[in-house]
Amino acid sequence: MDDFYRENILDHYRNPRNAGTLEDATHTHEENNPLCGDVIRIDLHVNDDNVINEVAFKGRGCAISQASASMLMEMIQGKTLDEAKAIGKEEILEALGIEIGPTRLKCALLSLKVLKAGAYGLSESEWNKDDDW
Amino acid sequence: MDDFYRENILDHYRNPRNAGTLEDATHTHEENNPLCGDVIRIDLHVNDDNVINEVAFKGRGCAISQASASMLMEMIQGKTLDEAKAIGKEEILEALGIEIGPTRLKCALLSLKVLKAGAYGLSESEWNKDDDW
Amino acid sequence: MFDVEKIIQDFPILNQGGTSKPLTYLDSTASSQKPTAVIEAMDTYYREYNANVHRGIYQISEKASDAYEKSRKKVGRFINARNWREIIFTRNATESLNLVAYSWGQANIKAGDVIITTEMEHHANLIPWQQLAARNGATVKYIPVTEQGYLDMAAFEAMLSPEVKLVAVTQMSNVLGTIPPIDDIIEKAHAVGALVLLDGAQSVPHMPVDVQALDCDFLAFSGHKMLGPTGIGVLWAREEILNAMPPFMTGGDMIKHVSFEGSTWNDLPWKFEAGTPAIAEVIGLGYAVDYLNTLGMDNIRQHEIDIVTYALDQLNQVEGLRIFGPKTPENRGGSISFTLGDIHPHDVSAILDSEGVAVRAGHHCAMPLHEKFGLAATTRASFYIYNTNSDVDRLVIGLDKCLNLMA
Amino acid sequence: MFDVEKIIQDFPILNQGGTSKPLTYLDSTASSQKPTAVIEAMDTYYREYNANVHRGIYQISEKASDAYEKSRKKVGRFINARNWREIIFTRNATESLNLVAYSWGQANIKAGDVIITTEMEHHANLIPWQQLAARNGATVKYIPVTEQGYLDMAAFEAMLSPEVKLVAVTQMSNVLGTIPPIDDIIEKAHAVGALVLLDGAQSVPHMPVDVQALDCDFLAFSGHKMLGPTGIGVLWAREEILNAMPPFMTGGDMIKHVSFEGSTWNDLPWKFEAGTPAIAEVIGLGYAVDYLNTLGMDNIRQHEIDIVTYALDQLNQVEGLRIFGPKTPENRGGSISFTLGDIHPHDVSAILDSEGVAVRAGHHCAMPLHEKFGLAATTRASFYIYNTNSDVDRLVIGLDKCLNLMA
Ligand SMILES: Cc1ncc(COP(=O)(O)O)c(C=O)c1O
Ligand SMILES: Cc1ncc(COP(=O)(O)O)c(C=O)c1O
């Protein structure tokens, strides 16, 4: 337990960074995890230099999904779109710093899915490509 | 093997009693066993005293189905319809004198089924009643 | 006679365990654990007489056929079917329900007809009827669930009309635990000429079920929830109804005669069992039924009433815990779904897991019911023959840790 | 590397046996025997981590989900699928074929369309198309089988037209052993815009199958014929096709969102897996695939060519024995169907059984083919990885006894 709910996860969960929505978002997308009802919406503002200069997320769900969304927001803010696109599963799991089984993996990666499938406009099969086997 | 194909079964198989058809049958019926293609047709002639005075069967199939049909013909000939109706599974199995598994049971009882379901005009659920459990 | 400590000895997983802490298994509503007798029966089949059934004229195949059909009789007697021909083996309760929706449904549901189900159904007893209705222009109506988790019977009565062809209702809710007034439902449905299908996925494992006494028309249930293996389910229906139904899946074993022009169908029950069946699983289910019979379904029901009585009492003392469904043990089964303050059920479940307590979190395949209660998910603890009051205690201790950590 | 004596050690039934005489098992075409690794994998699941999959947030459920999805990947790689989402778990090959007929078929087969299949199909790859055609006003055409057991390819070509929407053909006959010219069939079918479904129930266990190299569209097969348990089958199809297909059965686990108004479906492959799946069986199948991979499918195919070569040679010397199907081992699999004079196949099989030799007698779920050859039944001996030439010798000795006794 103390292992699973590490202080940094609980911290992000209790104090999410960049919570809310953006009025002037250039990209907005929402996804839910049908198995548990977790929902995450992400708003981005990408400027003319292709830099993500504003981020916000809004969600409902478990500590893992909300904390990982909060962490992801920190990771992409200030990056260019291309830099942000390079962020994958491994980076999220590393940030969480815990071992995650297949069911909760969906919670942990929900925010990444919103970003890739939605904000970056990648199709499921594209962003899932590394996941073919 | 020597157990399974006892002399009396092989004898009935090689020399079936009452093989053929009746021109003046009062009852005629045919059934097949869908699982193996065995076919048996039975013709009866029942006289005014309700006595089965003539019997004949025609068939195609394995030694068990043909021998048991031949044995059944011997059993019912000369009996009244009511007496014949009392003949069941047990009598046939006793006549064959061997232990029979569930698959071949269908072969062994095919002629009885023809008689009960067809010649006696009983519905499947009636003649199968003892077989509900 | 009903000695829980002795029962626990029969379940390998509760003794050796696959978890780091000893396992408190409170998820039998999702799938029950299996006793040694069931596991070994399948093992023995594979090691000693594995062969395809029905058509083999050699010893091991005859033995397999015999064991397969003996299991059918065991299952038939267990629910007091009229005869073994009324027992159809499927993969799970879900397939049993789909079989009825495809076969009976396509032949009997026409435009304008009404199918009644309830707001508390598992998706398996909901979507097949929605799909059937959409295909054929019929309507699905839902008996409302009250705040207390009961069916609104007045609303049900108001729905009844000659257009109602089927009432498909659970005999025990997998979320709320509710045991609806089935006798009443069957009587009223039959009065307007509707057939009644019972989803027995939760009732058959947990209480005595007698289809003749109930006078229902269809009953669907799953082996894996009643001590049996995965991959095996059952559809029971009255023989006349099954006889009149067209086949569902077609292929080997379900035919009388096949030609290039067309085919005729085998007798019951094989007409509905196309292809090589789940032989080992059917045999395993037979042993599960034997095990349940030895304990006695009345005793099992009483054990669950006892443990639910204790659990409701203990859980009511946990801060911020809200239980959904009937509060009286006599009207409910052993599934207790709840929320714990604002803590997400996933987190509750994960924290409980770290304490060795296995519960389920989510919508439990009853999304519309959860939405009705304004929830995305609940946590569910469920009890079976091998659970004791000390499992309840471990659950409560775990919930206290959740509160400490997350609140 | 391919050491039959060592392989036999892995199969409990071939060592301890359930028959009074040691078992010569020549019925693997109906169902194969199972190695210890497969039996124990399921045992371990039930004893150590039995739990429902996909939704449980506790250790044993996570472990079960993981093992379940790992098996899917193993199966996918085994037939060289593009990705694991193309692998759908069913009960058996029969259900896989029915899934295509109901889901793809209802959406794509219209009045006037043509479905081509062959005269040598198993009922499972015949009746679903007859039923589909009858429902939708389409026509089924049958590629004729020649006296020698080959497909009449000229007749096939003459059938091709833009109306042909599906060509459903076996990759290896379970009666004649015939391996049809699949590459040619696929190329010609695709040229008129038809999809190609392969019945791989016999091919997948017995030879290398690569769906990408074949460029087929659907492939159906069964676990129990390839060292796996009963109760588990596979449908593979191209992802685009599966994505476009409506669901077959509906219920839990196959949904994204459910409301009283309707439902949306889950992603592949779960869209087609409604309800609690055959968890233990899927895990067992994964171990069966591991076992086959260790031996190597090329080696298995070569072993069967060798044993069939010997068997054809020996059987040709039995008086009055007539073999159906190709006489050249390269063009056939390990199923050899024959008649022995006028002796009924049931009697042949029963006498062989009394000698400890298990063969099958009947129409082998290919009634139309048997009727075409003017037969009600044949006897079939079939070979697999654990059979040796001395099994062939025991078969021949048994056939001589049949002749002595019955002629
Ligand atoms: C060629 C072929 N197709 C389909 C099947 C059906 O397989 P199952 O009974 O496992 O569904 C079989 C096996 O009997 C077969 O040999
Ligand atoms: C009430 C109810 N109905 C149907 C089902 C479906 O059972 P299965 O998944 O075994 O098909 C379940 C189990 O999840 C259930 O609890």
The nearest alpha carbon in chain C to B131 belongs to C83
How deeply is D330 buried, as exposed, middle or buried, from its count of CB atoms within 10 A (0-12, 13-18, 19+)? exposed
Domain boundary among D238, D258, D293: D293
Q: Which domain holds residue B81?
A: 2-121
What is the tens place of the pLDDT at every residue in A32-78?
887 677 899 999 999 999 999 999 999 988 999 999 999 999 999 99
Q: Do C34 and D51 touch (CB under 8 A)?
A: no
Give the atom of ligand 2 at the shortest distance from the alpha carbon of C170: 1
DSSP string, C120-183: T--GGGTHHHHHHHHHHT-EEEEE-B-TTS-B-HHHHHHH-STTEEEEEEESS-TTT-B---HH
Is C365 assigned a catalytic role? yes
Nearest to D65 among A36, A102, A124 (CB): A102
HEC readout, B43-87: EEEECCCCEEEEEEEEEECCHHHHHHHHHHHHHHCCCEHHHHHCC
Q: For residues D297 and D325, is the Cβ–Cβ distance under 8 A?
A: no
Kindly state whether residues D262 and D310 are assigned to the same domain: no
Cis-peptide into D144, omega within 30 deg: no
Q: Is C215 left (phi over 0), alpha (psi -120 to 50) or beta?
A: left
Kindly state whether residues D17 and D114 are assigned to the same domain: no
Tokens of D388: 């040796």
Residues of chain D with pLDDT under 70: 17-20
In total, the C-beta contacts within 8 angstroms joining chain A to chain C are: 52
The residue whose CB lies within 8 Å of the most ligand 2 atoms, and thus the one to mutate among C202, C232, C235, is: C202
**Domain annotation covers residue A103:** yes
Kindly state whether residues C147 and C256 are assigned to the same domain: yes
What phi and psi, each to the nearest 5 degrees, are found at residue B62?
-80, 170
Tokens of C322: 């809200």
The nearest alpha carbon in chain D to B66 belongs to D344
Kindly state whether residues D25 and D88 are assigned to the same domain: no
* Ligand 2 centre distance from Cα of residue D276 (Å): 7
Q: For residues C321 and C338, is the Cβ–Cβ distance under 8 A?
A: yes
Cis-peptide into C229, omega within 30 deg: no
**Domain annotation covers residue B100:** yes
The nearest alpha carbon in chain C to D58 belongs to C353
Kindly state whether residues D65 and D213 are assigned to the same domain: yes
* Ligand 1 centre distance from Cα of residue C367 (Å): 38
The nearest alpha carbon in chain C to D95 belongs to C249
The count of structural domains within chain D is 2
Report d(CA C333, CA B29) in Å as an integer: 54
What is the tens place of the pLDDT at every residue in B58-92?
998 999 999 999 999 999 999 999 999 899 999 99
Q: For ligand 1, is residue D199 a contact (CB within 6 Å)?
A: yes
Report the Cα B13 to chain-centroid distance in Å: 13
pLDDT score of B98: 86
Residue nearest atom 7 in ligand 1 by C-alpha distance: D93
pLDDT score of D250: 98
User: Which chains have 3+ CB pairs within 8 A of A?
Assistant: C, D
Question: What is the amino acid identity at position D205?
Answer: P
Report d(CA D302, CA D322) in Å as an integer: 25
The half-sphere exposure of D173 on its side-chain side, counting CA atoms within 13 A, is 29
**Domain annotation covers residue A116:** yes
Q: What is the side-by-side order of every strand in the sheet holding B52-60?
A: B27-33, B38-46, B52-60
* Residue-by-residue pLDDT tens, chain C, 407 positions: 799 999 999 999 999 754 556 899 999 999 999 999 999 999 999 999 999 998 788 999 999 999 999 999 999 999 999 999 999 999 999 999 999 999 999 999 999 999 999 999 999 999 999 999 999 999 999 999 999 999 999 999 999 999 999 999 999 999 999 999 999 999 999 999 999 999 999 999 999 999 999 999 999 999 999 999 999 999 999 999 999 999 999 999 999 899 999 999 999 999 999 999 999 999 999 999 999 999 999 999 999 999 999 999 999 999 999 999 999 999 999 999 999 999 999 999 999 999 999 999 999 999 999 999 999 899 999 999 999 999 999 999 999 999 999 87
Find chain B residues with C-beta within 8 A of D363's C-beta.
Answer: 36-37
DSSP 8-class letter at D86: G
D149: which residues sit within 8 A by CB, 6+ positions away? D120, D173, D176, D177, D178, D324, D325, D326, D332
**Domain annotation covers residue B133:** no
pLDDT score of A1: 41
Find chain B residues with C-beta within 8 A of D350's C-beta.
Answer: 4-5, 62, 64, 104
- Give the number of other Cβ atoms within 10 Å of residue C168's Cβ: 26
Beta strands in C267-352 (DSSP E): 321-323, 335-340
What is the tens place of the pLDDT at every residue in B84-97?
989 999 999 999 98
Q: For residues A44 and A116, is the Cβ–Cβ distance under 8 A?
A: no
Kindly state whether residues C239 and C327 are assigned to the same domain: no
Nearest to C346 among A1, A39, A62 (CB): A62
Report d(CA C224, CA C93) in Å as an integer: 10
SS3 C27: strand
- Give the number of other Cβ atoms within 10 Å of residue A17's Cβ: 17
CA distances to C5, C56, C226, C326, D170 from C322, rounded to whole Å, are 31, 57, 28, 12, 57
**Domain annotation covers residue D35:** no
Rounded-to-10 torsion of CA C187, C192, C197, C199: -60
Q: Which listed ligand is nearest to D253 at the C-alpha?
A: 2
Q: For residues B2 and D406, is the Cβ–Cβ distance under 8 A?
A: no
Q: For residues C109 and C241, is the Cβ–Cβ distance under 8 A?
A: no
CA distances to A54, A60, A64, A71 from A20, rounded to whole Å, are 11, 12, 18, 14
Q: Do C363 and A37 touch (CB under 8 A)?
A: yes
CA distances to C149, C378, C405, C407 from C317, rounded to whole Å, are 21, 18, 18, 17
Q: For residues A42 and A65, is the Cβ–Cβ distance under 8 A?
A: no
**Domain annotation covers residue B130:** no
Rg of chain D (C-alpha set): 22
Kindly state whether residues C302 and C202 are assigned to the same domain: no
The residue whose CB lies within 8 Å of the most ligand 1 atoms, and thus the one to mutate among D170, D225, D336, D382, is: D225
Tokens of B96: 């064959």
Tokens of C158: 């108001």
Kindly state whether residues D260 and D363 are assigned to the same domain: no
Residue whose C-alpha is closest to residue C331's, from C149, C152, C196 = C149
Which CATH number is A87's domain given? 3.90.1010.10
Report d(CA C218, CA C242) in Å as an integer: 10
The active-site residue out of D79, D365, D366, D392 is D365
**Would strands C139-143 and C114-118 be described as parallel, antiparallel, or unpaired?**
parallel
**Domain annotation covers residue C12:** yes
**Domain annotation covers residue B127:** no
D63: which residues sit within 8 A by CB, 6+ positions away? A101, C18, D49, D51
pLDDT band at B1 (very low <50, low <70, confident <90, very high): very low
Tokens of D307: 């044993």
Q: For ligand 1, is residue D357 a contact (CB within 6 Å)?
A: no
Rounded-to-10 torsion of CA C29, C31, C36, C39: 150
Helix orientation angle between B63-76 and D345-354, rounded to the nearest 10 degrees: 110
DSSP 8-class letter at D56: -
- Residues 257-296 in C contacting B (C-alpha not used; CB under 8 Å): 257, 266-267
Kindly state whether residues D137 and D263 are assigned to the same domain: yes
Q: For ligand 2, is residue C93 a contact (CB within 6 Å)?
A: yes
**Domain annotation covers residue B42:** yes
- Give the number of other Cβ atoms within 10 Å of residue B99's Cβ: 10
**Secondary structure element (H or E) that encloses residue C407, with its range:** none
Beta strands in D245-306 (DSSP E): 255-258, 263-265
To the nearest whole Å, the CA of A10 is away from the closest chain C CA by 8
Report d(CA C289, CA C274) in Å as an integer: 24
Report d(CA C316, CA C399) in Å as an integer: 12
**Domain annotation covers residue C35:** no
Report d(CA D284, CA D34) in Å as an integer: 10
Kindly state whether residues D49 and D191 are assigned to the same domain: yes
C368: which residues sit within 8 A by CB, 6+ positions away? C119, C126, C142, D258, D259, D260
Report d(CA C28, CA D46) in Å as an integer: 14
Residue whose C-alpha is closest to residue A45's, from A18, A11, A7, A16 = A18
Kindly state whether residues C288 and C308 are assigned to the same domain: no
pLDDT score of A4: 65
ipTM: 0.94
CA distances to A97, C47, C71, C337, D46 from C284, rounded to whole Å, are 43, 14, 8, 30, 12
Q: For residues B4 and D404, is the Cβ–Cβ distance under 8 A?
A: no
**Domain annotation covers residue A101:** yes
The residue whose CB lies within 8 Å of the most ligand 2 atoms, and thus the one to mutate among D276, D279, D281, is: D276
Q: Has residue B133 got a pLDDT over 90?
A: no
Beta strands in C273-326 (DSSP E): 321-323
The count of structural domains within chain A is 1
Domain boundary among D259, D293, D327: D293
Which CATH number is C337's domain given? 3.90.1150.10
Domain boundary among D293, D327, D351: D293
Kindly state whether residues D89 and D177 are assigned to the same domain: yes
To the nearest whole Å, the CA of A95 is away from the closest chain C CA by 18
Which CATH number is C176's domain given? 3.40.640.10
Q: Which domain holds residue C336?
A: 4-30+296-406
Q: For residues C328 and D215, is the Cβ–Cβ distance under 8 A?
A: no
